[in-house]
Structure 1
Amino acid sequence: MLIQPIDYFLVAWFAIAAASTLYVGFDQYRNNPEPVVMKWGFILVTLYMGPLGLLLYVLADKEPRPGEHEDFTKPLWKQGVGSTIHCVAGDATGIILAAVITAALGLPMWLDLIVEYLAGFAFGLFIFQSLFMKSMMGGTYWENVRKSFLPEFISMNFMMAGMAPVMSFLMMGRDMRAMEPPELLFWGVMSIGVIAGFALAYPANVWLVARKLKHGLMTVRPQAAEPGQETKQPHGGASDMAEEGHAGHTGKTAPAKAPMKAKAPSQAKASASHAAQAQPAKGQHEGMEMHHAGNHAQQGHDMASHAGKKSGGHQMETDATTPQIAALGVVSLIALAIGMMAPANWLNLTLSARDVGGAIMPPGMIMDRDTPAAAMRDMAAVDPRLVSFKADPAARGGTVLEPRIENGVKVFDLEASVIRWSILPGVTVEAFAYNKQVPGPTLRVTQGDRVRINVTNRLPESTTVHWHGLDVPNAMDGPAHVTQRPIEPGETFSYEYTVEQSGTYFYHTHDHVDRQQALGLYGALIIDPKNPADAITADLEYTVQLQEWLKREGLTFPSMPMDGGFPNFFTINGKSYPATDTIKMKVGQLLKIRFVGSNTTAIHPMHIHGGPFEVAAIDGATLPQSARYMV
Structure 2
Amino acid sequence: MSPMHATPWAPEWLLWGWFGLTLLSVAYVAWDLFTSTPEMKVMKWGWVLVTLYTGPVGLLVYWFSCREPAPGTHEQFVAPLWKQAVGSTIHCAAGDATGIIVAAAITGYFGLSMGTDIWVEYAAGFVFGLFIFQALFMKDMMNMSYGQALRSSFLPEWMSMNAMMAGMLPTMVILMTRDMRAMEATSPWFWAAMSAATLVGVVVAYPINWWLVKHKLKHGMGTERALGKGGSPTAAEHGHAGMMMNGMPPATPAMGISAHAGHAMLSMRPTGDDHVPAGRKALVTLLSLLLLAASYYVAARFGDLSMRPGPPMHMPEMAMPGMTH
Superposed pair shares fold, TM > 0.5? yes
Distance 1:279 1:251 in 2: 6
- Match in the other structure for 1:378: 317
Aligned with 2:51 (options 46, 50, 55): 46
Q: Is 1:316 matched with 2:251? A: no
The answer (yes or no) to whether the contact 1:130–1:141 under 8 Å persists in 2 is: yes
What corresponds to 1:197 in structure 2? Answer: 201
Q: 2:308 maps to what in 1? A: 352
Deviation at 1:36, TM superposition (A): 0.9
Report the CA distance between 1:35 and its aligned residue.
Answer: 1.3
Encode CA deviations 1:350-392: one digit per residue, 9 max, x unaligned.
Answer: 12113xxx5264xxxxxxxxxxxxxx5539xxxxxxxxxxxxx
Measured in 2, the distance between the counterparts of 1:116 and 1:62 equals: 31
Deviations 1:84-116, CA, capped at 9 Å, x for gaps? 000000000000000000111111101000000
Structure that is richer in strand per residue: 1
The separation in 1 between residues aligned to 2:136 and 2:99, in whole angstroms, is 15
Q: Call closer, same or farther: CA 1:324–1:346 in 2, change over 3 Å.
A: same
Distance 2:230 2:40 in 1: 10
Is 1:76 paired with 2:48?
no
> Match for residue 336 of structure 1?
292
CA distance in 2, matches of 1:166, 1:247: 48
Paired residues in the alignment total 311
Root-mean-square deviation (CA), in Å? 3.6
Cα drift, residue 222 of structure 1: 8.9
Secondary structure, counterpart of 2:112 in structure 1? coil
Q: Structure 1: which 5+ residue stretches go unaligned?
A: 224-229, 237-243, 253-274, 281-285, 307-313, 362-375, 380-463, 469-477, 483-631
Mapped to 1, the partners of 2:115 and 2:239 lie a distance apart of 46
Residue 179 of structure 1: how far off its partner (Å): 1.8
- String of CA shifts for 1:209-261, please: whole Å, max 9, x gaps: 000000000111299xxxxxx9997569xxxxxxx979946999xxxxxxxxx
Q: Does 1:187 find its partner at 2:191?
A: yes
Matched to 2:143, the amino acid is: G
| Aligned residue identity for 2:284 | L
- Find the aligned partners of 2:147 and 2:155 in 1 and give their Cα distance: 14
Equivalent position of 1:123 in the other structure: 128
Question: Residues of 1 paired with 2:16 and 2:105: CA distance?
Answer: 20
For the 8 Å contact 1:176–1:360, the answer to whether it is kept is no
> In structure 2, do the counterparts of structure 1 residues 73 and 107 end up closer, same or farther at CA, with 3 Å as the change threshold?
same
The structure 1 segments of at least 4 consecutive aligned residues displaced by more than 4 Å after TM superposition are 230-236, 244-247, 249-252, 286-292
Distance in 2, Cα, partners of 1:247 & 1:321: 31
Counterpart for residue 152 of structure 1: 157
TM-score, normalisation: structure 1:
0.45
Percent of counterpart pairs with the same letter? 43
Measured in 1, the distance between the counterparts of 2:67 and 2:290 equals 35
Structure 2 counterparts to residues 97-176 of structure 1, below 5 A: 97-173=102-178, 175-176=179-180
CA shift in 2, pair 1:107/1:232, >3 Å: closer
Higher helix proportion: 2
Q: How does 1:57-456 map to 2 (within 5 A)?
A: 57-173=62-178, 175-221=179-225, 248=241, 315-318=270-273, 319-354=275-310, 358-359=311-312, 361=314, 376=315, 378=317
After superposition, the C-alpha distances for 1:145-197 in whole angstroms (9 at most, x for unaligned) are: 11000000000001101110000111001x22222211111110100000000
Change (3 A) 1:233 1:133: closer
Give 1:5 shift: 5.5
Contact 2:41 2:230 in 1 (8 A): no
1:22 corresponding residue in structure 2: 27
In the alignment, structure 2 segments of 5+ residues that lack a partner are 1-7
Counterpart AA for 2:293? A
Residues 68 and 250, structure 1, Cα contact 8 Å, conserved in 2: no
* TM-score normalised according to structure 2 size: 0.84
Letter in 1 for 2:290: I
Measured at CA, do residues 101 and 203 of structure 1 come closer, stay the same or move farther in structure 2, by a change above 3 Å? Answer: same
